[in-house]
A and B are shown apart, each in its own frame.
Chain A
Amino acid sequence: MRVLAAMSGGVDSAVAAARAVDAGHDVTGVHLALSAKPGTLRTGSRGCCTVEDAHDARRAADILGIPFYVWDFAERFTEEVIEDFVAEYAAGRTPNPCLKCNERIKFEALLDKAIALGFDAVCTGHYARLADGTLRRAKDAGKDQSYVLASLTPEQLRHAMFPVGDTTKDDIRAEAAARDLAVADKPDSYDICFIPDGDTRAFLESRIGSRPGQLVDAESGAVLGVHTGVHGFTVGQRHGLGIDRPAPDGRPRYVLSLEPVDGTVRVGPADRLSVREIVADRAVWPHNRPLDGVVECVAQVRAHGGTSPATAEFRDGTLTVRPQAQLRGVAPGQAVVLYRPDADGDVVLGSATIRATSA
């Protein structure tokens, strides 16, 4: 196959490309330039769009002996990921930009271009297993990224390759070292790539500005303070609420809900965060099999952690998920991803965007 390897400059995508080469594919490496103004030699920044990352990707491609190009997707990325991220926060929701980037950039803009240019597949360094069209969790549970890939359509998955999903991160690093890839010990990236300093609140403040509202005690209705915008909060958040009084019962308070129209942020004790029912829409079924009836499964409500056995039902375009364990901090805007437990790696059943929750 002719394979286009998306190379971020990190260790995972470098080994993924190497494995595609080993598998006998005709591989071309591409680094996606996603920032309109690529940073230069910023220390401490571990995004996906710095000049050093492009350099690291290029050096990995050199070692693999594959052609390498930098393609500019900054405009698409800004429109479809960054602007969506800002708009979602402004609307009181909590988006997942990595998911959006996979859905719209890597497996849409890039994949479309790749197919049109004669490639058969796009290969990335994501930790997920994909064989015979079935998307499963990665072998390395701590690194599993199936959550941010679950909203890919069967058509997108048909042209996707995730060669590192069957290996642990430690083994990938060892393999990179054995292959003389200089990125073998490059630190993992954790931050949102377009917010290199990690200060999401400041980033949103600079984009959205100040939209003052009240912090309200969900139980008593008392106004506890004011804030500069719902975009500074996420459901389940405990710190940085700016409340200068302890709760009467002395228990910590958490953000329970956000009301973007009048700017009200409701806070309350942890037990009120627990969610009994999640309503989600914009469902995607990676294997073209929508849920049939009430299905026992495992639900995951954020990229890391937040899993529980659940029952799920899909009816009239709406997915209703009832977690059996206490899931806290379920934020509208995040995806709920459903899995069927399996000894060979839990199988992704589907993904949908959380619209509302109820206790």
Chain B
Amino acid sequence: MTYLDHAATTPMLPEAVTALTNALSTVGNASSLHTSGRRARRAVEEARESIAASLGARPSEVVFTSGGTEADNLAVKGVHWARKGRNRVLVSAIEHHAVLDAADWLREHAGADVTFLEVDDFGRVHADTLRAAIAEDPDAVSLVSVMWANNEVGTVNPVRELAETCAEFGVPFHTDAVQAVGALPVDFAAAGPNAMTVSGHKVGGPYGVGALLLGRDVPCVPLAHGGGQEREVRSGTLDVPAIIAMAEAVRVAVDEREARARKLADLRDDLVRRVRAAVPSAIYNGDPGHTAMDGGPSRLPGNAHFTFPGCEGDSLLMLLDARGIECSTGSACTAGVAQPSHVLLGMGVDPKLARGSLRFSLGHTSTRQDVDALVAAIGPVVERAQSAGLAGLRRG
């Protein structure tokens, strides 16, 4: 099996598996007052401190959640609700649906005026764009949300600059760093966002756990009410084993980031070069990745994203899947139906072309053999998918 979908989820790191399995057989609700409870609580607090240390945050800024989606929703809705009287929500056009749909919900149900910040052809939000959008009516802005790095095309945003721009106007800034952690240098304090989303399974931890790094001075209304376990902002019994394992995964991913990122970028560059040689018509989407951004690369090191003109993404995916190569059409799914990606559309790609796109994402288990397998298959697969694309046009 050639697994080229690490951006969807990546295998758990051995350290995280060990931490998780060890913790699974222990008992103790982290909110209980007795010995077992205190033991669980201690483990959670150590995990909190570890994550804070890895990501340049203070422990008290780490709010554990059930994952990236909850953290995004908590940031977008919670901060918006907390800033009563301000109804402007600014999000980039290329956000993950967890941000996009949360903002859209606020538009439909809370009267929010949502502005979608335009991106350039690489999928990048510019500080000038953000500044102009805020300046239209700064006092009415409840929050700004722009992802650190895009999950589909891998383009890295100038987070530090965007955070500075928001700070100038005193507007809270949230960034979804789900894809960035472990791939780019991520420092919450240095970059300056007020809230930042982290996911467990994207960095080699378990599913169903994540965190919102939330500045102490950022008011946020909870989504769900209950025991108030996490700073009264997030309720629910803490998933102690998952939290321990996520902290371990974040620690390893961040510690080994530089060496791993270099290896992945080399592998990715090789993949891109050879796929383009095999399919000269392929269009490489997103930032070329050869410039610097906030001390890291301008593109996620493991991301390669192509459009194959004349092909349907679902045909390409099926044909590769049948050859044991797993990738993604990088699109949102409704009942599993491939829609043209809003990220590509936001970048100005023609909807028909957008449908013929594939994301290959490398991760910590990727090898040269994975790239070889893809390169061997991609030519014939694209040729076949092109003939299927033509068949669709024949009588249509």
Number of interface residues of A (CB under 8 A): 24
Q: Contact: B394 with A72, CB < 8 Å?
A: no
Interface residues of B in 356-385 (CB under 8 A from A): 384-385
Q: Enumerate chain A residues within 8 angstroms of B295, measured Cβ to Cβ.
A: none
Check B395 for interface membership: any CB of A closer than 8 A.
yes
A126 to chain B, nearest CB (A): 21
Partner of A113, one of B336, B337, B388: B388
Q: Contact: B384 with A72, CB < 8 Å?
A: no
Check B318 for interface membership: any CB of A closer than 8 A.
yes
Q: Contact: A113 with B392, CB < 8 Å?
A: yes
Q: Enumerate chain B residues within 8 angstroms of A58, measured Cβ to Cβ.
A: 336
By beta carbon, the residue of chain A nearest B315 is: A117
Q: Contact: B335 with A54, CB < 8 Å?
A: yes
Partner of A117, one of B335, B388, B394: B388
Q: Enumerate chain A residues within 8 angstroms of B319, measured Cβ to Cβ.
A: 117-118
Q: How far is the CA of A51 from the CA of B335 in the complex (A)?
A: 5
By beta carbon, the residue of chain B nearest A39 is: B335
Q: How far is the CA of A29 from the CA of B322 in the complex (A)?
A: 13
By beta carbon, the residue of chain A nearest B336 is: A70
Q: How far is the CA of A108 from the CA of B393 in the complex (A)?
A: 11
Check A88 for interface membership: any CB of B closer than 8 A.
no
Q: How far is the CA of A71 from the CA of B312 in the complex (A)?
A: 10
Q: Enumerate chain B residues within 8 angstroms of A67, measured Cβ to Cβ.
A: 318, 321-322
- Given contacts A112-B391, A113-B315, A116-B391, is CB(A38)–CB(B385) below 8 Å? no
Q: How far is the CA of A181 from the CA of B395 in the complex (A)?
A: 36
Partner of B335, one of A70, A79, A113, A118: A70
Q: How far is the CA of A71 from the CA of B321 in the complex (A)?
A: 15
Q: Contact: B335 with A33, CB < 8 Å?
A: yes
Q: How far is the CA of A309 from the CA of B37 in the complex (A)?
A: 83
Interface residues of A in 249-294 (CB under 8 A from B): none
- Given contacts A112-B391, A116-B388, is CB(A72)–CB(B322) below 8 Å? no
Check A31 for interface membership: any CB of B closer than 8 A.
yes
Q: Contact: B337 with A112, CB < 8 Å?
A: no
Q: Contact: B337 with A38, CB < 8 Å?
A: yes
Check A151 for interface membership: any CB of B closer than 8 A.
no
Q: Contact: B384 with A113, CB < 8 Å?
A: no
Check A203 for interface membership: any CB of B closer than 8 A.
no
B317 to chain A, nearest CB (A): 8
Q: Contact: A31 with B315, CB < 8 Å?
A: no
By beta carbon, the residue of chain A nearest B394 is: A112
B394 to chain A, nearest CB (A): 6
Q: Enumerate chain A residues within 8 angstroms of B389, measured Cβ to Cβ.
A: 116
Q: Contact: B396 with A33, CB < 8 Å?
A: no
Q: How far is the CA of A275 from the CA of B7 in the complex (A)?
A: 65
Q: Contact: B335 with A115, CB < 8 Å?
A: no
A54 to chain B, nearest CB (A): 4
Q: Contact: B392 with A109, CB < 8 Å?
A: yes
Q: Which of B336, B387, B389 has the most CB of A within 10 A?
A: B336
By beta carbon, the residue of chain B nearest A79 is: B396
Check B291 for interface membership: any CB of A closer than 8 A.
no
B65 to chain A, nearest CB (A): 25
Check B282 for interface membership: any CB of A closer than 8 A.
no
Q: Contact: A112 with B392, CB < 8 Å?
A: yes
A57 to chain B, nearest CB (A): 10
Q: Give per-residue flags for A10-48: 1 if the beta carbon is below 8 A from chain B beta carbons, else 0.
A: 000000000000000000100101000010000000000
Interface residues of A in 50-99 (CB under 8 A from B): 51, 54-55, 58, 67, 69-72, 74, 76, 79
Partner of A71, one of B314, B322, B334, B395: B314
- Given contacts A28-B318, A76-B396, A108-B395, is CB(A116)–CB(B390) below 8 Å? yes
By beta carbon, the residue of chain B nearest A76 is: B396
Q: How far is the CA of A72 from the CA of B340 in the complex (A)?
A: 11
Q: How far is the CA of A74 from the CA of B336 in the complex (A)?
A: 13
Q: Contact: A72 with B338, CB < 8 Å?
A: yes
Q: Contact: B337 with A70, CB < 8 Å?
A: yes
Q: Contact: A38 with B314, CB < 8 Å?
A: no
By beta carbon, the residue of chain A nearest B386 is: A116
B232 to chain A, nearest CB (A): 33
Q: How far is the CA of A79 from the CA of B396 in the complex (A)?
A: 9
Q: Give per-residue flags for A308-334: 1 if the beta carbon is below 8 A from chain B beta carbons, else 0.
A: 000000000000000000000000000
A1 to chain B, nearest CB (A): 15
- Given contacts A33-B335, A38-B337, A70-B336, is CB(A113)–CB(B391) below 8 Å? yes
By beta carbon, the residue of chain A nearest B322 is: A67
B321 to chain A, nearest CB (A): 7
Q: Enumerate chain B residues within 8 angstroms of A31, measured Cβ to Cβ.
A: 336
Interface residues of B in 306-351 (CB under 8 A from A): 314-315, 317-319, 321-322, 334-339
Interface residues of B in 285-317 (CB under 8 A from A): 314-315, 317
Q: Contact: A117 with B385, CB < 8 Å?
A: yes
Q: Enumerate chain B residues within 8 angstroms of A28, measured Cβ to Cβ.
A: 318, 322
Q: Contact: B388 with A54, CB < 8 Å?
A: no
Partner of B336, one of A69, A108, A115: A69
Q: How far is the CA of A257 from the CA of B322 in the complex (A)?
A: 54
Q: How far is the CA of A58 from the CA of B335 in the complex (A)?
A: 10
Q: Enumerate chain B residues within 8 angstroms of A76, measured Cβ to Cβ.
A: 392, 396
Q: How far is the CA of A72 from the CA of B388 in the complex (A)?
A: 14
Q: Enumerate chain A residues within 8 angstroms of B395, measured Cβ to Cβ.
A: 108, 112
Q: Enumerate chain A residues within 8 angstroms of B335, measured Cβ to Cβ.
A: 33, 38, 51, 54-55, 70
Q: Enumerate chain B residues within 8 angstroms of A55, measured Cβ to Cβ.
A: 335
Q: How far is the CA of A116 from the CA of B318 in the complex (A)?
A: 13
Q: Contact: B391 with A118, CB < 8 Å?
A: no
- Given contacts A33-B335, A33-B337, A76-B396, is CB(A69)–CB(B314) below 8 Å? yes
Q: Enumerate chain A residues within 8 angstroms of B391, measured Cβ to Cβ.
A: 112-113, 115-116
Q: Contact: B337 with A116, CB < 8 Å?
A: no
Q: Enumerate chain B residues within 8 angstroms of A113, measured Cβ to Cβ.
A: 315, 388, 391-392
Partner of A38, one of B315, B334, B388, B390: B334
Residues of B near any A CB (own CB < 8 A)? 314-315, 317-319, 321-322, 334-339, 384-385, 387-392, 394-396
Additional A-B contact list (12), CB under 8 Å, known A70-B337, A117-B384: A28-B318, A38-B335, A38-B337, A67-B321, A67-B322, A69-B314, A72-B337, A109-B396, A113-B391, A116-B387, A116-B389, A117-B315
Q: List 14 A-B contacts (CB under 8 A).
A: A28-B318, A28-B322, A67-B322, A69-B318, A69-B336, A72-B338, A74-B337, A76-B396, A79-B396, A113-B315, A115-B391, A117-B384, A117-B388, A118-B319
Q: What are the nearest 9 A-B pairs in CB distance?
A: A70-B336, A116-B388, A112-B391, A116-B391, A33-B337, A54-B335, A116-B387, A51-B335, A38-B335
